[in-house]
Structure 1
Amino acid sequence: MKITGYRTLSTRHAWNRSIGDVNGHIRHAVTEIPIVIVETDAGIEGVGIGSHADLDRLFPALLGEDPRAVTALFDRMTAQVFKSGHAGATYGGLATLDAALWDIKAKAAGEPLWRLLGARDRFVPGYASGLDIALDDDELAAFYATFAERGYVAGKLKGGLDFEADLRRLGILADAFRGNTSTPGLMIDANESWQVKQAVRYVAALEEHVDLLWVEEPLRRWDAAGHARLSNAVRSAIATGENLTGVDQFRGLFDAGAPDIVQAGAIWGVSHFVRLSFAAAARDLPVSVVGYNANPAVAAAAAAVPNHLTTEVQDVRFAPGLIVDQEFIDGGIVLGDEPGAGIAVDEAAIVAASAGEGWESTAGPHMRPDRAGLRLLLDGIER
C-alpha cells in the first residue's frame, strides 16, 4: 500500500454559546474545523481533523510511502521541516496527517484504532469544560447540568480575573454534579495569565473554600521553575503542557519537576500523545487530553496508554459532516467498533452547512491581552 495524495475540507462547528477564557471571548462562536483526507493506491482513505498548516511542506515526506509505518513517518515529517522546525502551527499540520495515517493503519487491519493501539477498555474517562468565562450564572448552570445528565462528575472553570466570581461559579459547577457524587471534581484554568506570586495568592485563597483537583496553565507555558515553585506552595495539582508542540519541549518542565499533571493538546495528534504519555509514565505522572473535540482520534490513544487520567470534553456534538463512532455517556467517552478512528465524512453535509460567517474575529481567547500577567486586580477590575 502506498500513499498517493491528500485533499482538504473544512466544516464549521457552531458552539451555540459564547466561548472564551481570561484572554478574551467570542459570542455566538463558530469554529472552522480543518479536515485532511490522505489517499492510498489501495482505496483506503485516512481522515485527520485538526489543522491545514504547512501540509504542502510536510507531505513530500509521505508521498509513495506505506502509510502503515506511522511511527517512522511521524519522524520523517519532523525531519522534512528540520531547518525551520516543527514547532507551532507546523506541528498541527503534522499531527493531522499523523492522525489520518493511524486511521488508515487501523482500517487496513480491520480494527478500531483503540484496539489496534492495545487498549483493553473502550471507555475513556472525561470531564466537562464549557470554555465558559462569558456565560452568565444561569447559562453556566445549564451547560454543566447537560453533562451531569450524561453521568459526568467533574468540570473545569475558566477563570483567574475575579476571585469572588470564580468562587461563586465553582459552586455552581459543584451543584450541577452533586446529583452524581457528593464530592464533585473541580478545576480552574487561568490560561497563562498569572505570575508566580499572583498564582500562589489566588490559588491559596480558593483552597480555603474549594478542594481543587488541579489548576491549569497558571503561568507561561515555558516557565518550568515557576510551575515547580507554585506546585510546592499550594495543595492543588498543577496541570500544563497543552500548548507545547513536541515532546522535546517538555524537557525543561520534567527536569524542574514542574508538572503534576502532564497535558497534551488533542490537536497535536496520536503519536505526540502516545510518546508524551510514556515520557510522563517514566516519571510516574498522569496525562490528560485537552480540547478533545478538535481531534477525536486521540481518545483511542487515551484508552491505550497506562497513565491517562481524564480528557476534556467541550461539547457532545461534532461539526456538520463529521460522523464519529463515539458516545458521550457514563461520565466519559465510549469508543465504537468501526474500523479506524471511527470518523466518517459526509461531504454533501459539509457543503450544505457551509453558508454563513465563520470565526473571523482576531480577538477573543486566541490573542493574548497586552496586560496579561501585569494586571493589578483587587476586585475583578484592573486598577
Structure 2
Amino acid sequence: MNEIPTIESIKLTPTRVPLPEGPWGDQIHHVENIEVVIAEVTGSNGLTGVGFSHTSGWCGATIAQLDEEIIPDVIGLKVSPQGLWRRSYKYIHDVGGAGVTTHALSALDIAYWDLLAKSLDVSLYDLLGKVRDRVPLYGSGINLNLTIEEVIEQVKRWKAEGYICAKVKVGKPDIEEDVERLTKIQEAVPGFPLAVDANQGWTLPAALRAFKKFDHLDLLWIEEPLPSDDIVGHKVLRERVNTPIALGENTYTLNQFNQHFEQGSCDYVQADLGRVGGITGYLDIAAAARAHNLPMTPHFVMELSASLLSCIPNIYASEMTDGGTWTALGIFKPSDNIKNGYWTPPTAPGHGLEVNWDYVNAHKF
C-alpha cells in the first residue's frame, strides 16, 4: 500500500543559468541570465520531490533565503500540498502577500506535488485528473531586436511545426514601425493568428494610441500593455479598446487576478507557475478564471505549464518561447513530448521532469 509520507528534509539549490543565445530584451528588460531556485523535498519513505522557482537574473538568493525560513515550520508534517501551501502562506504573509513570497512558495509547492504523486506511484496529471491527453502550443519569440525578415522566418517555422498561433514583441520607439512589422508578418503568413507582447512598456495614453493603430490587424491579443500592477488602468483601457488583453505573468495572487476578472480587464490569463505559488496557486487561479469563462495561456516553466494544462478545462494553448524552454536553457534533460504542435504530458510518477543536475550544479551560487 502506498502511504503519504511526512517531510524529512528539504535541500535548496540556487543556480544562475546563462542564456545560450545571448541576452533577452524588450521594452523594459535586459536579461542576461535566469536565476532558478530548486527545492528537493525528501519524504519519510525515502522518495524525493523536486520543485522550482525562477527570476529574470536577480533576487534568487532572496527567494532561497525565504524558503530557508519556511523549512523549519514544515519538517515532520504530512505531504499535503494544499494544506502546506496555506500554512506557509499565512506564516510568511506579513513580509509580503505577493512577489518574493509567492516565488518562494512555488519551489516548495511543486516539490510537494511531485513527492505526493511519486509516493502514490502515479503521474501528477493522473492524480490531478486529466481532461485531455495533449495540449496545443503556440510559438513565441523574444524578437524585438531581430530584423523583420528574421521574425517572419520564425513565424513561418512555428506554423510549419503545427503551433496554433504566433506571438511577437512590439515596442519600437516609433509605433509606425511596429505596424509595418506586423503588417509584413501577416502578409507573409496569411491566416495565421498573431498576438503581440508589449511587456508593460506603455503609459495609458500610449497604449490607447497603439491599440487604435493595431485595430485593423485583428490581433489575437495584446499582452501586458501597462505596468502589471496598474489594475485600474487596465480596466480603463479595456473599456475603450477592441483588441483582447492578455496579462498575468507578473501578477502573483488569486486576489490580484480576481480583481482583473471582476472588472473585465483580462481576456487571456497568463499566470506563471514559478511566480504564483506553484501548482496550488495556479489551480486556484485557473478555477477562478474558469468561473469567468477565461482561458489559461501560461507563462514560462513551459514544460511543466504545458503538462498541467492537460488537467485544466479552460485553456487556449501553452507558450513555447524560442530559446526559453527549460530544456533549451539546460535546466531539464531533453524529452520527446512535442509532436505536430502539441505537448503530451510525461507518464512517469510525479511531474516527470528530469533536472539536468550536472549543468545546474555547474552554475549554482
State whether TM-score is above 0.5.
yes
User: How far has the Cα of 1:45 moved from its partner?
Assistant: 0.7
Moved more, 305-314 or 29-38: 29-38
Aligned counterpart, 2:72: 60
- Cα displacement string for residues 246-285 of structure 1 (whole angstroms, at most 9, x for unaligned residues): 1122243233222122220231321111100111111222
Look up the SS of the partner of 2:344 in the other structure. Answer: strand
Alignment of 1:21-170 (within 5 A): 21-26=26-31, 29-51=32-54, 53=63, 54-67=66-79, 69-161=80-172, 162-170=174-182
1:327 to 334, 337, 345: 337
Aligned counterpart, 1:263: 270
Give 1 or 2: higher helix fraction: 2
Query: Structure 2: which 5+ residue stretches go unaligned?
Result: 55-59
Query: Structure 1: which 5+ residue stretches go unaligned?
Result: 359-383
Aligned counterpart, 2:283: 274
Name the CA shift for 1:76/1:173 in 2 (closer, same or farther; >3 Å): farther
Distance in 2, matches of 1:15 and 1:134, equals 16
Name the CA shift for 1:101/1:323 in 2 (closer, same or farther; >3 Å): same
Aligned counterpart, 1:190: 198
Moved more, 258-267 or 311-320: 311-320
- Cα displacement string for residues 50-83 of structure 1 (whole angstroms, at most 9, x for unaligned residues): 245111122233211121x111111011011132
Moved more, 164-173 or 233-242: 164-173
User: How far has the Cα of 1:25 moved from its partner?
Assistant: 3.2
Whether the 8 Å contact between 1:199 and 1:218 is mirrored in structure 2 is yes
Name the CA shift for 1:145/1:82 in 2 (closer, same or farther; >3 Å): same
Whether the 8 Å contact between 1:19 and 1:133 is mirrored in structure 2 is no
Distance in 2, matches of 1:131 and 1:266, equals 20
Distance in 1, matches of 2:90 and 2:334, equals 32
Matched, 1:235 2:235: no
- Cα displacement string for residues 184-219 of structure 1 (whole angstroms, at most 9, x for unaligned residues): 1211111222222321221111122x1101111111
User: How far has the Cα of 1:326 moved from its partner?
Assistant: 5.6
Aligned counterpart, 1:202: 210
Whether the 8 Å contact between 1:78 and 1:85 is mirrored in structure 2 is no
Look up the SS of the partner of 1:23 in the other structure. Answer: coil
User: How far has the Cα of 1:13 moved from its partner?
Assistant: 4.9
What amino acid does structure 2 have at the position aligned with 1:74? W
Instruction: Output the aligned Cα RMSD.
Output: 2.5
What amino acid does structure 2 have at the position aligned with 1:279? A
Look up the SS of the partner of 1:343 in the other structure. Answer: coil
1:289 to 295, 298, 308: 298
Whether the 8 Å contact between 1:13 and 1:318 is mirrored in structure 2 is no
Whether the 8 Å contact between 1:140 and 1:172 is mirrored in structure 2 is no
User: How far has the Cα of 1:153 moved from its partner?
Assistant: 3.5
Whether the 8 Å contact between 2:131 and 2:312 is mirrored in structure 1 is no
Distance in 1, matches of 2:77 and 2:185, equals 49
Whether the 8 Å contact between 1:15 and 1:30 is mirrored in structure 2 is no
User: How far has the Cα of 1:349 moved from its partner?
Assistant: 4.1
Give 1 or 2: higher strand fraction: 1
User: How far has the Cα of 1:171 moved from its partner?
Assistant: 4.2
- Cα displacement string for residues 279-318 of structure 1 (whole angstroms, at most 9, x for unaligned residues): 111122222201243xx33333321111122222114534
What is the percentage of aligned positions where both structures have the same residue? 29
Whether the 8 Å contact between 2:238 and 2:264 is mirrored in structure 1 is no
What amino acid does structure 1 have at the position aligned with 2:9? G
Whether the 8 Å contact between 1:322 and 1:344 is mirrored in structure 2 is yes
Aligned counterpart, 1:344: 354
Report the number of matched residues.
345
Look up the SS of the partner of 1:157 in the other structure. Answer: strand
What amino acid does structure 2 have at the position aligned with 1:151? G
Aligned counterpart, 1:364: none
2:225 to 218, 224, 245: 218
User: How far has the Cα of 1:49 moved from its partner?
Assistant: 2.1
Distance in 2, matches of 1:171 and 1:42, equals 58
Aligned counterpart, 2:7: 3
Look up the SS of the partner of 1:287 in the other structure. Answer: coil
Name the CA shift for 1:266/1:238 in 2 (closer, same or farther; >3 Å): same
User: How far has the Cα of 1:11 moved from its partner?
Assistant: 5.9
Look up the SS of the partner of 2:152 in the other structure. Answer: helix
Look up the SS of the partner of 2:75 in the other structure. Answer: coil
User: How far has the Cα of 1:106 moved from its partner?
Assistant: 1.4
User: How far has the Cα of 1:104 moved from its partner?
Assistant: 0.9
User: How far has the Cα of 1:141 moved from its partner?
Assistant: 3.4
What amino acid does structure 2 have at the position aligned with 1:334? T
